[in-house]
Amino acid sequence: MKTLTPEQEKALARQARTVSFVIAATMILWMGVQWIGGKLGLEARYVFLADLSALAAFIWALVVIYQIWRKRRNN
């Protein structure tokens, strides 16, 4: 088994921080849109667009987390 170099470890840590930021920001923005949509009476299609955007961000985060996991597991 090959060990990761310090540069590779830093790159994986940077990726993990990016994923955590995306997850947190997506959740906060999604909750904000839901709240604002309710207060302003936005049409459901606009709120649904926010739901789909949040879902896309979460799927991206899961894919990147899986890639990080595989890199660490293989090394």
Mind listing the pLDDT tens digit for each residue in 9-18?
A: 999 999 999 9
Nearest in space to 53 (alpha carbons), one of 30, 21, 23, 24: 30
Per domain, the residue ranges of the chain are: 7-74
Judge whether 23 and 61 are in contact, CB under 8 Å.
Answer: yes
Asked whether the predicted pLDDT for residue 30 surpasses 70, the reply is: yes
What residues have CB less than 8 Å from 64, skipping those under 6 apart? 15, 18, 19
Model confidence, pTM:
0.86
Mean pLDDT of the chain: 93
